[in-house]
Structure 1
Amino acid sequence: MQKDAHLLDYLAVRRSIPAFQMRDPGPSKGELEEILRLASRVPDHGKLAPWRFIVYRGEERARIGEELLKLRLAAEPNLSDELIEVERTRFTRAPTVVAVVSTAAPHFKIPEWEQLMSAGALCLNVLMAANAHGYVSNWLTEWFAFDTRAYPLLGVKPEEKVAGFIHIGSSDFPPVERPRPDLAEIVSWVGGSDD
């Protein structure tokens, strides 16, 4: 079996960069279209494409942040100054934010669970395709991914779910490794022996 050394090297060190460490430039429209085209090559039982993208760029990101702040303050009027600034900058931390939206629905053959997992695979593919184009990325959800009051603001339909917001940009910060699970603790072997 011939190995792809470049892909193996990438997977061995793949790491997300925190969104607050991102800066310009982000991908151009053409680069982003290619990132999303590559990302959409995910397992998709039944070829349903049970997901879609929403891309947030430019000044609209600041407006969305202000509106999210209003929603948060309506629920929690005593937010600290620090948390007010966090809410205000939710969508301006990175030059580009891509929502991966699950459109999973009942189907006569394909379980909704499989459709939801396809959306999760799509999120990871966006991260990797952005990295392949030389950008850093991070997959976040945040409270507004689960708060349907924010859906009209974000362009999400009531029957949809947000699988994640992928932040894409550049960074001067080196990726920092974090503890990874010990393989012996997460793998069960059933049958076979290569000893």
Structure 2
Amino acid sequence: MDALELLLNRHSCPRLAEPAPAGPALDAIFNAGLRAPDHGGLMPWEFIVFAGEQRDALGQILAQAAQKRGDAEDKVEKARLAPLRAPLVIAVAAKVKPSDKVPPLEQQLSAGCALMAMQMAAQAQGFNGMWRSGWFIFDQFVHRQLGLAGEDQLVGFLYLGTPLVEVRKLPERDPAQFVRYFGE
């Protein structure tokens, strides 16, 4: 699949199974993330990998966070089971570095670009994934449990594996609905 075809047909897959990317395939995914735009060369990324039983540990962290929020028991259980929807979960965080030139938002955007590049690299290799966010990525308890501090910010969880379903083609979109030429 060529690069333009990959980008134009980008899609998320919610049903993932073994095998997950490993070895050279996983290395390629990380290397794609490390090529994200990076104003100032700060490399403000961290990729935290959860595989096997580590997904259960992540689920416990998310369930505890849901309990602390006062969520109903069904939502706590849903949070606990969330990381088990894929054989591999990668938390992507912006490790915000002090900079007079590069504000935290730019560093967070860079981490978001890294996450998307990683998803695209997975898809290019025959795997797929889904970028999951939600309240978890802003929860300070979750941040602390994952070793984040200060201005660090989770930008999402990348669920990766082999697609279990044929993903439907996304609808075509008319760029004219989203593009405005200044001065016209």
Partner Cα separation in structure 2 for residue 12 and residue 59 of structure 1: 35
Aligned to 1:14: 10
Closer, same or farther: CA 180–143 of 1 in aligned 2, 3 Å = farther
Q: Residues 151 and 158 of structure 1 are in contact (CA less than 8 Å); yes or no, is this contact kept in structure 2?
A: no
- Cα offset, 1:190, TM superposition: 3.5
Partner Cα separation in structure 2 for residue 110 and residue 150 of structure 1: 25
Deviations 1:115-157 (A, max 9, x none): 2221111111011111122111111113221110112322323
**3-state secondary structure, aligned to 2:85:** coil
Aligned to 1:92: 84
Which amino acid is 1:26 matched to?
A: A
Aligned to 2:147: 155
- Cα offset, 1:180, TM superposition: 5.5
Partner Cα separation in structure 2 for residue 75 and residue 120 of structure 1: 26
Aligned to 1:36: 30
Partner Cα separation in structure 2 for residue 98 and residue 77 of structure 1: 24
Moved over 4 A (4+): none
Q: Residue 74 of structure 1 is aligned with which of 61, 68, 84? A: 68
Identity %: 34
Closer, same or farther: CA 69–180 of 1 in aligned 2, 3 Å = farther
Aligned to 2:134: 142
- Cα offset, 1:32, TM superposition: 1.4
Closer, same or farther: CA 10–188 of 1 in aligned 2, 3 Å = same
TM-score, length of structure 2 as denominator length: 0.88
- Cα offset, 1:113, TM superposition: 2.7
Which amino acid is 2:62 matched to?
A: L
Greater Cα shift, 6-15 or 71-80: 71-80
Partner Cα separation in structure 2 for residue 64 and residue 164 of structure 1: 13
Count of aligned pairs: 184
Structure 1's unaligned 5+ residue stretches are none
**3-state secondary structure, aligned to 2:180:** coil
Q: Residue 126 of structure 1 is aligned with which of 101, 115, 118? A: 118
Q: Residues 54 and 98 of structure 1 are in contact (CA less than 8 Å); yes or no, is this contact kept in structure 2?
A: yes
